[in-house]
């Protein structure tokens, strides 16, 4: 159970993950451009959440606002890969002994790709549990498809509860079979 969970980019396909984590947390901060409109539809959950309508492309304002909210012991993020300094700033908001779960697109999972670079950087930081969820695809017969929201949420919750540093949702190979 988290005392204070930080949820970024979890109001769409990852809303079931946010629901589960908020249900198991003392309180949470949810950041999204349209956070003020978001609701779980249950006051038990909604009352535990501070909704911050923030756009993370304004990194300075975003991180300053997070720092005012105080440190967190769990961060779950779905960000664009180019948000390097933002990722580092979010990691700095997580207390020693806390957990960071980063959800990433399939291209990040290429050998020596962004996921490998990020994993190395986070392991060098130390003191925090770091998990990655890389979203792949599913090969079916002679075709392939992107993951369903349920498959993405299942993989993210496995990363949240499990001990594997990296969780691949679906597969990343063969790369040429991507939809």
Q: Tokens representing 159?
A: 């990363």
Going from the C-alpha of 153 to that of each of 5, 57, 150, 166, the distances in angstroms are 17, 25, 5, 15
List domains and CATH numbers for the chain.
4-177 (3.40.50.720)
Residue closest to 174 by CA, chosen among 135, 142, 139, 134 = 139
Q: How confident is the model at residue 1 (pLDDT cuts 50, 70, 90)?
A: confident
Going from the C-alpha of 23 to that of each of 26, 27, 71, the distances in angstroms are 8, 9, 19
pLDDT one-digit tens code per residue, 116-143: 999 999 998 889 999 999 999 999 988 9
Q: Quote the pLDDT of residue 174.
A: 93
Q: Which strand (E) or helix (H) includes residue 154?
A: helix 149-161
Q: In this predicted model, which residue has the larger pLDDT, 70 or 172?
A: 172
pLDDT one-digit tens code per residue, 92-122: 999 999 999 999 999 999 888 899 999 999 9
Dihedral sign of CA atoms 119, 56, 96, 14 in order:
negative
Distance CA 87, CA 89 (A): 5
Q: Pairing relation of β-strands 129-135 and 94-104?
A: parallel
pLDDT one-digit tens code per residue, 26-71: 999 999 998 889 999 999 999 999 999 999 889 999 999 999 988 9
Q: How confident is the model at residue 84 (pLDDT cuts 50, 70, 90)?
A: confident
């Amino acid at each position: 159970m988290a005392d204070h969970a930080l949820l970024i980019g979890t109001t769409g396909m990852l809303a079931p993950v946010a629901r589960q984590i908020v249900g198991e947390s003392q309180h949470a901060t949810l950041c999204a451009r349209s956070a003020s409109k978001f609701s779980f539809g249950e006051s038990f959950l909604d009352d535990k959440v501070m909704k911050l309508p923030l756009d993370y492309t304004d990194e300075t304002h975003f991180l300053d606002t997070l720092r005012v909210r105080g440190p967190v012991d769990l961060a779950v993020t779905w960000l664009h890969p180019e948000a390097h300094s933002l990722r580092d700033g979010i990691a700095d908001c997580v207390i020693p002994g806390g957990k960071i779960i980063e959800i990433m697109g399939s291209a990040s999972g290429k050998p020596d790709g962004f996921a490998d670079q990020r994993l190395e950087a986070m392991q060098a930081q130390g003191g925090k549990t770091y998990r990655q969820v890389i979203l792949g695809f599913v090969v079916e017969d002679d075709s392939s498809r992107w993951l369903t929201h349920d498959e993405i949420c299942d993989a993210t919750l496995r990363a949240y509860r499990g001990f594997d540093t990296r969780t691949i949702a679906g597969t990343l190979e063969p790369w040429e079979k991507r939809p």
